[in-house]
Amino acid sequence: MIDVTDFGIAPNGEKVQLYTLKNEKGMTAKITNYGGILTSLLIPVSGKNREVVLGFDDLDEYTNTEYISNCPYFGALIGRYGNRINKGKFRIGDKDFQLNCNLGDHHLHGGLEGFDKKIWKAEILSDFELKLSYTSPDGEENFPGKLAVDVIYTLTNENELQIKYQAVTDQTTPINLTQHSYFNLSEQPKDILDHQLKINTDYILETDDSLIPGGQLLEVENTVFDFRTKKTIQQDIEELENYDDCFAFKESTKEPRKVAELTDEKDTLTMEIHTTFPGLQLYSGKYIDAGKMKKFGPFAGVAIEAQGYPDAPNHPNFKHGWLHPGEIYKQQTNYRFIF
């Protein structure tokens, strides 16, 4: 059964619920219909529940001004367009569009009030499946078209949290949905720099200082971005101080394929990431500063976001980032835990 409890009152006065999913192995996922946020993910390692995502037990922690101003997006569903759009601008045919810019000169993660701040309609599909739905009206954050989105969270008995995305539109619109959890697999509270990470790709997006793509894919060989062989996050981080980069797999796939794995410093818990998306944004969390009752600081977690490429609508060679009327947007990401 999925347990449903009250989680607080949203800024608009609506009641918000928390949905608790449990599998037969003792794994537990807690999801709220405010922003579709995964607030907690407990893994039963050696008979003890281990919290592996950064999150809060109180809705106010997600809605207060201080938290929002720091832009951590803990555990949230991101849309209409995840990651960055250069200057918030794009063109459809002969018409130019200007989105709200909420990260300096650029649009980030859906704008001033993205999907992470919306109340989603929740529907329990089974003992292990929760469906969240949101319809974004034409013109929201200056995006064209009415976009209807469904996201299904499924907790399997194979210790896998699956996230399935589907959307349709009545006008051509940019789209890039993702899930923004920060992971920390350690048994005791500590940073993620000693975590071991492997990413199965030869390429990373070329970006400028604002993390806007130039349109090219760069090879990771002989660079600090080479995670093709598992290494700690901190091994080569000194040169950069922080990872915030999109690793590229070139194409989407119809079925999820393994693209990365993350292991705690004691090699007691591994998380595999399987996805259909063509990209994986790695953010090592240097600028995390969030929480009042439960405080999280720099490198408290690592975000590994399966998604499309940033600014894809402005790069025809990326060949994605758009949804047209009559099409169905479908993507899936699975987080599989091995212990």
| Buried b / exposed e along 267-298 (16+ C-beta atoms within 10 A) | eebbbbbbbbbbbbbbbbbeebebbeeeebee
Question: What backbone phi and psi angles, to 5 degrees, belong to 208?
Answer: -90, -170
With contact defined as beta carbons under 8 Å apart, do 42 and 49 qualify? Answer: yes
Question: What backbone phi and psi angles, to 5 degrees, belong to 168?
Answer: -135, 155
* Residue 8: burial class (beta carbons within 10 Å; 0-12, 13-18, 19+): middle
DSSP reduced 3-state for 117: helix
Q: Which residues are CB-contacts of 72 (< 8 A; sequence separation ≥ 6)?
A: 54, 182, 288, 289, 290, 296
State the Cα–Cα distance between residues 326 and 123, nearest whole angstrom: 25
Is position 83 annotated in a ligand binding site? yes
Is position 315 annotated in a ligand binding site? no
Is position 84 annotated in a ligand binding site? yes
Residue 41 has which token pair? 């993910």
Active site (catalytic) residues: 180, 305
Maximum pairwise Cα distance, the chain: 60
Is position 289 annotated in a ligand binding site? no
**Minimal CA–CA distance to 17: which of 46, 37, 44?**
37
Question: What is the Cα Rg of the chain in Å?
Answer: 19
Is position 181 annotated in a ligand binding site? yes
Is position 126 annotated in a ligand binding site? no
For the annotated binding site, the residues are 83-84, 180-182, 244
For the annotated binding site for beta-D-galactose, the residues are 83-84, 180-182, 244
